[in-house]
Amino acid sequence: MKVLVTGATGLIGRQLCARLASHQIDVNYLTTKKAEIRNEPHYKGFFWNLENEIIDEKCLEGVTAIVHLAGANISKRWTRDYKKEIVESRVLSANLLLKLLKENPNEVKQFVSASAIGIYEDSLSIYHNEESKDLEASFIGCVVKKWEAAADRFSAIGLKVAKIRTGLVLAREGGMLQEVAKPVKFGFGAAFGSGKQWQSWIHIDDLVKMYIAAIEESWEGVFNAVAPHPVSNEDFVKLTAKVLGKPFFLPNLPEWLLKLMLGEMSTLLFLSQKVRPERTNNQGFRFHYEHLEPALENLLK
């Protein structure tokens, strides 16, 4: 079996590509940097350029599934230009892949797209599942809607489409956990705003395992990539301090201060999305890290 992966050098992509080998799944990957192209028996790189709509059609040789992880990092300051990049890096990349499939003979049967729980309405009380119709109207909610709409277009050419709505990804190599842990390590950990906002999270090992299950079992539809037990922001920081053996006593960081420091991007710190992986569980998928504390112990110790 062979898959084509976009975003292969990102936090999730690196882990996924490394793990696919143990499942005897070969990887073709797309990169915008020619210096990052490798040509190994089971791991081959191909060049693409969104701006000029260039893509090496040889990337499709032997491929039966595409995993679309490409997208600009949302954790940078949201200037007008960068907000445009956040959208286009996800949507135009999907459109270019669709054009490639339409114009070239191929064996692709499935399109697995990254997505995000940011599509769900900000709420302290609603418990979202994959069928939830309460959608978020903020910038990030609009991004995810456009992202998923681009993925859905692949069904028109007969592909099974799976959308992996991902929560807060916990990893050693980067991501929000390491940013939260930095001040905690120096005894300066504090919750954001009220601290009551729900954070639905997933250990990166479970996320990678979920992508592999989606490929091997040909999942179709929407699946929430979140552990079964979300926590409040205050509990998230408190447990991080506990695992690191550090005090947790500072007052919460006020919302106005974080908005001043981070601009509109600070919205990400205050959105409350309590999400359960109902359809994911119904697929027979089992999380190794269901509770936050064991996940933090694995990643921070």
Interval 114-163: pLDDT, tens: 999 999 999 999 999 999 998 998 999 999 999 999 999 999 999 999 99
Geometric angle at alpha carbon 30, from 29 and 33, rounded to 5°: 125
Q: What is the pTM of this model?
A: 0.95
Rounded CA gap, 232 and 41, in Å? 45
49 strand-pairing partners: 54
**Pairwise CA distance, residues 295 & 276, whole Å:** 17
Domain ranges of the chain: 2-167+202-226+277-288
| Domain 2-167+202-226+277-288 indexed as CATH 3.40.50.720 | yes
DSSP helix/strand/coil, 77: coil
Position 184 pLDDT exceeds 90: yes
Mind listing the pLDDT tens digit for each residue in 243-254?
999 999 899 999
Task: Judge whether residue 176 has pLDDT over 90.
Answer: no
**From CA 268, how far away is CA 72, in angstroms rounded?**
15
